[in-house]
Structure 1
Amino acid sequence: MNRCTPALISQARKALSLSGLAVALLCAALPAQAQQVPGGMGEMRNFPDASLRGNLTVLAGSQATLNGNPIRMAPGMRLFTPQNTLVMLHTVQGQTFKVNYLVENSTGMLLSAWILTEGEAAQPRKGSGEIHFNFRTESDPVKK
C-alpha cells in the first residue's frame, strides 16, 4: 500500500521551500546590532573590587612574572584585551602589559588579568609590589 502519492510529495516540497524562504527573509529583516566595545570613547570597564594593579609578563607555559616576581598562572587563567576579548597566552609570550589582576586565594595562582587602556591605567587602584599567599613554608622568614 502506497500512502505517499506523487502529488502529496510535491506539495510537501513546496511547503518546505516556502517555510525556508520565510525564515531567510525574517533573518534578513532583523537589524544588525553594533557591538559595544568597552574602553573606547571614554567608557570604562568595571573590574572586581579585589583586583590589584601590576605589570604582567607572560613567560613560557604556565609561568609569568607579576611586578617582577615569578608567579604561576592557574590552569583556567584568562587574559582579556582592552576590548574584553580573550587572549591566547602563547601569542603574547615575552610581552609585558599594565594589568588589573586577580590572584586565587587558595593556591596563590594568577586567575584573571585585564590589559588596561591608557585611560584605565590612569585611574587609581591599589597595587602590590609583592604577592601575598595564605600559606607559609619553612624557608619563609618568621614575622614577629
Structure 2
Amino acid sequence: MYRCVLPLALAASCVVAHAQTHRFFPAKALRGELVVTQFPDVLLNGQPARMAPGARVKNENNLWVPPAGLAGQKLIVHYTVESSGLILDVWVLNAAELANKPWPATPAESANWQFNPGNQTWSKP
C-alpha cells in the first residue's frame, strides 16, 4: 500500500516545485522595484505609493508574507493596482521570473505590447 502512496507524493512535490518557478501572472501585472517603508506606505520605482487594505504579497516561493515583514528590502516584483491606484497584489520574483524579459513596467507599455498568457511572455510591436 505504501508503494502506491510514495509515487503520488513525489509527483505532487514536482508539481509544487514547478509552480514555484513558473507562476502565472495576469496581463495587467507590471514589473517594478518595491520598497516597503512603513506599511502601508511603499516606494514603487522610487515614487511614494500605498498598498491597498487587504493587499496580498507572495514571496519567491509563492507563499503569502505580511507586507510589514518586508520593510526596508528592495524587491523586484510584479504587481497589480486597483482602480483607486492602490497596490493590490505583489509577487516577489524568483530567478526564473526575473529572466523572463521583456516585461512591461508601465501601463502604457502594457497597452502597446502583446501578452501571451500561455507561456507568460510579452512581445514588443
TM-score higher than 0.5: yes
Unaligned regions of 5+ residues in structure 2, if any? 109-125
Aligned-pair Cα RMSD in Å: 2.4
Q: Secondary structure at the match of 1:39?
A: helix
CA–CA separation in structure 1 for the residues paired with 2:105 and 2:67: 23
CA–CA separation in structure 1 for the residues paired with 2:105 and 2:30: 5
Assess if the C-alpha contact under 8 Å between 1:56 and 1:97 holds in 2.
yes
More helix by share: 2
Matching residue of 1:119: 96
Deviations 1:53-75 (A, max 9, x none): 00000111210011001111001
Q: Secondary structure at the match of 1:78?
A: strand
- More contact order relative to length (CA 8 Å, sep ≥ 6): 2
Q: Is 1:72 matched up with 2:46?
A: no
Q: TM-score, normalised by structure 1?
A: 0.61
Matching residue of 1:21: none
Unaligned regions of 5+ residues in structure 1, if any? 1-27, 131-144
Match of 1:54 among 6, 10, 32: 32
CA–CA separation in structure 1 for the residues paired with 2:74 and 2:39: 15
Q: Secondary structure at the match of 2:98?
A: helix
Q: TM-score, normalised by structure 2?
A: 0.70
- 5 Å-filtered alignment, 1:1-144, equals 31=5, 33=9, 34-35=12-13, 36-37=16-17, 38-40=19-21, 44-105=22-83, 107-123=84-100, 124-128=102-106
